[in-house]
Chain A
Amino acid sequence: MTRTDVQLMLDVKAGDDASFDLLLQKYRSPLVNFLFRMVRDAATAEDLAQEVFLRVYRARKQYSPSAKFTTWLFRIATNLALNSVRDNRHRRMDVSLDAPVEEDEARRELPAREMRIDEHMVERDRAQFIRRAVAALPEKQRVAVLLHKYEEMDYGEIAKILECSESALKSLLFRAYETLRVQLAPLVAQPVAPRAGEGRRS
């Protein structure tokens, strides 16, 4: 019989490290991808994912199944990712105080609609463009979209992770998708069928 995440975590609490391995196998990839979409750097995403699992392991003795395991897991991941993004932003701001704006920094910004979209489409591939649009969303909207679109979490769970009401979450999601609809208008107008194995929600 397949054990639920909560049962696995309770087994970890009882000292069964093999159950921790099962949780690792199950959530390693979703967690790394969620963090990668948050911080947009694969090495940082892996470091943060390691830290998330390590925190789960360290907290095993205090674990009580008061919420879904994924709610707890992604709340830790969200907090770590947001801290990392903020730290990185401050570091970049410190650097840019005296230094001229680097070319890479300029590229990171989304192009003005209508003006440079086509140029950017030539320079960058679509995935990169989409990643940037998602990364440009305000923090809470970004987390909400990633958990809703890619992790397929229900509204109640996302609301718990973001510590807001379900109604506020629906409003947050609407505003986020509305922004993306506008920013990604050229792609929305010319959608390409997703390749097999890419993305999760159809």
Chain B
Amino acid sequence: MKCEDVSNELIAYLDRRANSAERRDVEEHIAVCAGCRTRAEEFRKLWNVLDEVPAIEPSFAFDARLRQRVAAEPRRNWLTWLVPQPRLAFSMAMLIALSVWMAKLPPATPVDAEVGAKQQFEMIKDLGVLENYDVLTKLDALSELTPTLAPPVRPKDSQSQEDDGG
């Protein structure tokens, strides 16, 4: 095993996390390599040196401050759905205002209403005939008759008058 190969396993060897094969490889190498042996020893000492740095204690107010911030977080439970959200409240207010405004608009004038009614009547007066299926089909059948064979169609009233007189 070369020095470069040992370097990657040296830390795991020193903190006792290397597996048995890795440990054996490192031990065999440092037994014959003075440089890596020295490095390994100095790494151990370095870790002791790093332990000299004292830990700090969080301030007494840490927990209280955090709890305060956590308490200020918005809660999403069933109760929150009853409290109107700002956007929803604004939309509702706008809808109500629009309804009130439309309700307060002046009603249509009688003249306008009369003109409107006439126009509507014109539009719908023939609908009864145009939408009557029987009438359309009968007319269609009459159109197939030749003019010579077809008896003259007279109004019903004049025909009854002739019958009475004749």
Contact = CB atoms under 8 A, between A and B. Distances in A.
B91 interface: no
Interface in B12-66: 12, 15, 17, 39, 42-43, 45-59, 62-63, 65-66
Interface stretch (B2-10, B106-114, B118-126): B2-10
29 contacts: A17-B70, A24-B63, A24-B66, A28-B62, A29-B58, A32-B58, A32-B62, A33-B56, A46-B58, A49-B62, A54-B69, A54-B70, A61-B76, A131-B53, A134-B50, A155-B17, A167-B8, A171-B7, A178-B39, A181-B42, A184-B49, A187-B52, A188-B42, A188-B46, A195-B54, A198-B53, A199-B50, A199-B55, A201-B47
B73 interface: yes
Closest 5 CB pairs of A and B: A199-B51, A194-B51, A32-B58, A187-B49, A170-B8
Q: Size band of the A side of the interface?
A: 35 or more
A194 B45 CA distance: 11
A130 B15 contact: no
Given A28-B62, A29-B55, A198-B51, A50 B45 contact: no
Contact of B58 (A28, A37, A195): A28
B97 interface: no
Contact of B48 (A28, A42, A194): A194
Nearest to B59: A46
B53 A199 contact: yes
B58 A181 contact: no
A184 B69 contact: no
Interface in A1-52: 15, 17, 20-21, 24, 28-29, 32-33, 36-37, 42, 45-46, 49-50
